[in-house]
Amino acid sequence: MSNTRELSYTAIIARLYRSGNRTKPWPFPSPVENSTASLAFSIAVIRFCALRMKAIAVRALVAAILVPLIGVQAAARSPFTLTVRLYNTSGIPARELTAARDAADSILRDTGIDVRFRACGRATDPCDTPLQSAEVVVRIIDAPAFNATLHPDAFGVTYIVKETNRGWLATVFADRIHSVATRVTVEPGTLLGRVMAHEVGHLLLGIDYHGPAGVMRAEWPDGVLDRDGDDWRFSMLEAERMHRVLAAL
């Protein structure tokens, strides 16, 4: 499920930083920070179902043929660095968080991109400096109890600026992911990391993109959730596209 809303940059920032202290620097690049215009944001939603998990976005693009997935040894080295500011708002245990970071790091680093996770929080790093162009934010939270605009099966959302078809903010719902992981007997941290990698993929590849296989597939049947890491990779074409996006920043 996906929908498009007219949201100002300030509204997006307010949802990310709900603190009453508005004097701290905006966590977005300068062009975003200085803009007061309202732009259309497409919201990609990733869903789990009893029979399958769907990552559904507006006008999802699914290729007709399979494209090769990158193996660890085949990944090209890249001069590009992507920093992920990670907020563990839901307070998942350290062991599970480490597993999620390791899973996401392995998937993203396999593209040849140098990925760096920055643990943000009052007890660790306030992360109150403006967000740089090659930085994104991933929030791990529990799904809101009452939200008429959020699908009950949604396990993650990504905000994409329609003008540029990329974004900076993704949110994943740890409690819902944990429930699915229990149902299919998959390590919760590993599944959480895969969802995180998928959402970061949308931040770079755009709202319209889904692949026929790998971590960016549009549908995740229960039968594939317990497969090993080789089935959770970006394709070479996806990696090349992510490189081009980072090179243009």
The stretch 15-24 carries a mean pLDDT of: 39
Out of 3.40.390.10, 3.40.190.10, 3.40.50.300, 3.30.1490.190, which CATH number does the structure's domain 2-247 have? 3.40.390.10
Separation in Å, CA 75 to CA 65, 70, 107, 168, 248: 21, 6, 11, 24, 20
Confidence of residue 22 (pLDDT cuts 50, 70, 90): very low
What is residue 130's predicted lDDT score, i.e. its pLDDT? 93
Mean pLDDT is lowest, of 19-23, 67-71, 197-201, for 19-23
User: What pTM did the predictor assign?
Assistant: 0.75
96-127 pLDDT, tens digit each: 999 999 999 999 999 999 999 999 987 889 99
What is residue 69's predicted lDDT score, i.e. its pLDDT? 53
Give Cβ neighbours of residue 192 (< 8 Å, ≥ 6 apart).
92, 96, 99, 100, 103, 140, 172, 174, 177, 178, 181
Structure token pair of residue 120: 């943000």
The structural domains of the chain, with segments of one domain joined by +, span 2-247
What is residue 124's predicted lDDT score, i.e. its pLDDT? 80
Structure token pair of residue 127: 């992360």
